[in-house]
Chain A
Amino acid sequence: MTATLTSIREKARSGEPLSLEDGVALYRHPNLLEVGALANEVRERLHGDRTFFNRNLHINATNVCEASCAFCSFARLQPGDAGAYTMSLEEAWGKLRARIDGGDPITEIHIVNGLHPGLPFDYYTDLLSGLKRIQPGIHLKAFTAVEIFYFAKKFGLSIEEVLQKLRAAGLDSLPGGGAEIFAPRVRKKICDDKCTADEWLEVHRVAHRIGLRSNCTMLYGHIESVEERVDHMLRLRALQDETGGFQTFIPLAFHPDGNALMKLPGPTGVEDLRTYAVARLLLHNIPHLKAYWIMLGVKTAQTALWFGADDLDGTVQEEKIYHMAGAETPQVMRPAEIVRIIVNAGRAPVERDTLYNVLAEGAALTSDKPFRRDVRRSLEVVS
């Protein structure tokens, strides 16, 4: 095993792509911290201590969904089902207005919904254009590849036509959700109604081709094998070699409450950190690795900043998908709190926009009056 890690280390240092066997060996290596340290080396080579976050808002406009994925606690099959909801456009727009009126400005809205059988295409374009009317500079990161593919089928359009129409209405980039695990064995069991791996990848390929950036994800810790995780990441890496359009990879830990896979325990902390480290090492061509605090928990997300992660996502607010699956994390973190967590981890906070343009860093972030004293002390303590 040690010999394997030595050869993997050499490859990682010289920038040579790791193989499926390397990925599996990293997962199986007995020393978590050695794997973590190697991932950290790559992370520091790419980003130094810089750790990114943004100010954002989540809108999950409807949880009515034709698909019945086994891991999902969010979706309701029919509009009338208990707990089912669909926001009116005014309601959805109101979320943004509330943030602006509350003196809590944001730079991004993340929109992910169920596959609602009854909503017209206009609902989605109007949703986007209405948000842009309220705040013209806002970045709209909306609709997973699964939704895009659903729209194409449902409304008789090509993937490119769907994307072009949405872009015309205000779409700026795609979030990375819906990838789950690409292996057909797993997809058949947990999300048989969803688009296939090739269809998911095709949506992102087209998006990248027409100039949209996107993210990518992997849902881990349910029934998939280590080999299937590595295979998933390698398929993402192959598309990235082709297009270069992915910005960030986000491993998503499976949460077991309230869904058909409730009997599974879900991944533990060391498995989360291991997955982050392996991802950082395998996905050498995807610039960023996001520790999504909503689902990892703030404490584990902070720790992941030493296991390859360089991004904590954003301030969020109103997250529904993970909280309906039992996530006990807060619904929102103030920017000062995010900055504090990053500084206390011995890292340098950077506020970014969706496309990783730097909006603020250094003293600009840590000069908040009530906050400064803590950060100074933390800096003394953590170095």
Chain B
Amino acid sequence: MSSKKIRIAAVSFLNARPITYGLERSCDAANDDRFELSFDLPSRCAERLAAGEIDLGLVPTAAYATSAHELRIVPGIAIAGFGSVRTVLLVGEVPWTEMREIALDGASRSSAMLLQLLCRERGLEPRFREVPHAQVLDAVRGTTGALVIGDAGFAAATRFPHVQDLGAAWHETTGLPFVYAVWAGRPDVVDGEAVARLQASLDDGLAARPLIARAWSEAHGGDPALYESYLTHSIRYRLGAEELSGMAAFFARAHGAGLIPRAIRPRLFEGAAPTSALANRSRGGMEGPRSVDALLADAAAGGRLSPEDAMRVYLEAPALELGAAADQRRQMLHPDGVVTYIIDRNVNYTNVCVTRCKFCNFYRPPTHKTEGYVLSRDELARKFQETVDLGGVQILLQGGLNPNLPLTWYEDLFRWMKASFPLAIHGLSPEEVRYIAEIENMSIRAVVERLIAAGLDSIPGGGAEILDDEIRHAISPLKCTTDTWLEVMRQAHALGLRTTATMVFGFGEEPRHLVGHLEKLRALQDQTAGFTAFICWPFQAEGTRLKLHDDTTAMRYLRIFALSRLYLDNFPGLQVSWPTMGPEVGQVGLRFGGNDFGSAMIEENVVSQAGAVFKLGAADIERYIRAAGFEPRRRNMRYERLAAA
């Protein structure tokens, strides 16, 4: 990096003030030797960046996606919202669905594209007309609405009878945050030190939000308390894994709707990655542009591994270097050092199952006279109430494929649960959904829609085993195919459900099967961004009919886990599996790419019947997380953090 100043352009809107707060003071005060700061409208920042007039701009995410040049994003900093954002509004004298024409604020790029996308996905076809930023509200008349962005939104919100917050609309559709703007520039313009300065500037700004709000009120009028609440509650400044998922989902949907010419995903500046053990390797002999070292360094910084690269990394990378790269990637995605966990209960509502998987110890065939069960409402009520009493927020509800349970049984169960207990339903793996569709002769989509209407909140990613039909056929011939598993998830994501994804290894599969599994998940996630987290564990063979001698040791688990963190670059979360690996290895997994400790489980029947006996309560989990150097926080299934209990 030369000593040449980095020319940066930021936005003068209120919501961008915290981002530049620290920079402005240093640039003003002491003739800053690194940065030259100017201000402009978001769309102008993008234009000046494209023209090469500036090196780094606070640009709309849409401009990032449509840039003719390859751009990189400064990690950790964004203007984003999770739900209602208050300054990206569609206003009019008629409801959205009746608007024939919409005036677009010429200062906006991301919001305009978001509006066009949301219209298309709702089957609405208004005419769009761009007007200058200052004149946008004047265009509203009759069936002509307007998209208002920035500070004008505060006034517009009360001026019109029909107001739709686009942040809220996006969240309802996807369950994800929306990222409006990021710092972006050409790949080599900033180094780690410059990124640290930008992050420090935001830290200063976040601490100064009351001051910023008061100053804004003095200069522009308005209520400082409103501004402070806006800066504190409406805007999120963290560019974490969920925000990156939101960006990826936006790009994928916009590309699908023809609004973005090419498939693109958010990429962060690589120079910003903290130095790691990678740089200090002393092993020789692996020179060349795509050495395993180079692959690891690239993946650690957010680069995408090809399946071939992943095979090489898996087979050749030394264990701790693979782990360090995954740890570095985790640090970029979850920069605040928090590791989450959930308190929930795993309830297996029936053990009657037609599938007869060789690796399962839990099921009883429908013909079994004595040991098959379906839990009664009384039994369920007791389990659910105990869960609530223990601070649980969710029921993981899974069972066998029981031919005696029609869709209405599940609907009644869900409605009763929702009416009686404050618990989220994380229920019915793709296999169960598929089976209900089969016995009801309905489409998967229709089944998922009915289940959502009855109260289903999310779908667990179980039953994926290895997503390869050759392997699946060998171990569970009656289970759904790879395509069906993925299709259920695709449909669920399209309907706005978030789900997890899993992988069980140790069936004698080869590395190509593992990488193939990860590739299928990553490809679907590129399209839907609906997966919240990935969990893998080794097959627990004890007592099952599968006699395998595959490698299920801790080191293989940690290698596969770290590889997954690197390969699944579009997955926000990676959960360690302490119930199968034990808390010690689960904890070490937090240093091999994990950011979630899973569940303080009250009950689990399937794995424990095959020999896994580890049990941990919330206090133990927090101790393990802290000892690994992280701050524990409880979460719900959507990976939203909960207030400490």
Contact = CB atoms under 8 A, between A and B. Distances in A.
A373 B588 CA distance: 29
A37 B277 contact: yes
A343 B558 CA distance: 15
B316 A383 contact: yes
A30 B627 contact: no
Interface string A295-311: 00111101101110000
A335 to B, nearest CB: 16
Contact of B320 (A33, A268, A373): A33
A381 interface: yes
A297 to B, nearest CB: 6
A228 interface: no
Interface in A265-320: 265, 267-273, 297-300, 302-303, 305-307
Main secondary structure, interface of B, reads helix
A381 B584 contact: no
Contact of A269 (B319, B551, B583): B583
B280 A37 contact: yes
Interface stretch (B80-88, B179-187, B321-329): B321-329
Contact of A303 (B318, B549, B558): B558
B321 A37 contact: yes
A4 interface: no
Given A32-B629, A268-B628, A303 B554 contact: yes
A300 B282 contact: no
A40 interface: yes
B508 A377 contact: yes
B554 A30 contact: no
Contacts of B590: 270
A135 interface: no
Interface in B610-645: 623-624, 627-629
Given A265-B623, A297-B582, A306-B320, A382 B587 contact: no
A2 interface: yes
A307 B586 CA distance: 17
Interface in A228-252: none
B326 to A, nearest CB: 9
B591 interface: yes
A17 interface: no
B276 interface: yes
A87 B56 CA distance: 78
Given A265-B623, A300-B584, A345 B553 contact: yes
Interface string A1-42: 010000001000000000000000000001111101110110
B555 A344 contact: yes
A41 B629 CA distance: 24
B370 interface: no
Nearest to A343: B551
B280 A268 contact: no
Contacts of B508: 377
A302 B554 contact: yes
Contacts of A265: 623
B556 interface: yes
A378 interface: yes
A346 interface: yes
Given A302-B555, A345-B555, A270 B276 contact: no
Contacts of B320: 33, 36-37, 40, 306-307
Interface string A351-367: 00000000000000000
A341 interface: yes
A31 B588 CA distance: 12
Given A37-B277, A41-B282, A303 B324 contact: no
Nearest to A6: B280
A268 B277 contact: no
A251 B584 CA distance: 16
A40 B590 CA distance: 20
Interface in B274-305: 275-277, 280, 282
A344 B323 CA distance: 16
B549 A344 contact: no
B255 to A, nearest CB: 37
B277 A33 contact: yes
Contact of B624 (A37, A268, A302, A344): A268
Most buried by B among A38, A270, A378: A270
Contact of A33 (B559, B582, B586, B591): B591
A382 B627 contact: no
Contact of B583 (A268, A298, A341, A380): A268
B511 interface: yes
B584 A272 contact: yes
Interface string B562-602: 00000000000000000001111111101100000000000
Contact of B588 (A273, A378, A382): A273
A161 interface: no
B523 interface: no
A171 B319 CA distance: 40
Contact of A299 (B282, B584, B627): B584
Contacts of A378: 551
Contacts of B623: 265, 268
A270 B551 contact: no
Nearest to A272: B584
A193 interface: no
Contacts of A32: 591, 628-629
Contact of B549 (A40, A268, A373): A373
Contacts of A299: 553-554, 581-582, 584-585
A377 B591 contact: no
A38 B281 CA distance: 9
Given A33-B591, A40-B320, A303-B588, A377 B551 contact: yes
B585 A269 contact: yes
B286 to A, nearest CB: 13
B470 interface: no
B280 A9 contact: yes
A271 B626 CA distance: 11
Contacts of B386: none
A31 B274 CA distance: 11
A382 B317 CA distance: 10
A38 B279 CA distance: 12
B188 interface: no
Interface in B485-529: 508, 510-511
A298 B552 CA distance: 12
Nearest to A328: B613
A298 B555 CA distance: 11
A374 interface: yes
B550 interface: yes
A2 B551 CA distance: 36
A382 B555 contact: yes
B499 to A, nearest CB: 29
Nearest to A297: B584
Nearest to B584: A269
A333 to B, nearest CB: 13
B323 to A, nearest CB: 5
Instruction: Find the residue from B555, B582, B585, B590 having the highest chain A CB count within 10 A.
Output: B555
Given A30-B629, A34-B324, A381-B551, A344 B588 contact: no
Nearest to B326: A33
B268 to A, nearest CB: 20
B334 to A, nearest CB: 15
B625 to A, nearest CB: 10
Interface of A: 2, 9, 30-34, 36-38, 40-41, 265, 267-273, 297-300, 302-303, 305-307, 340-341, 344-346, 373-374, 377-378, 380-383
Given A33-B324, A303-B555, A382-B556, 8 more contacts: A33-B327, A38-B277, A40-B320, A269-B584, A270-B590, A300-B588, A344-B553, A381-B511
9 contacts: A37-B277, A37-B321, A270-B587, A272-B584, A302-B555, A305-B555, A373-B549, A374-B551, A380-B510
Interface of B: 275-277, 280, 282, 315-316, 318-321, 323-324, 327, 508, 510-511, 549-551, 553-556, 558-559, 581-588, 590-591, 623-624, 627-629
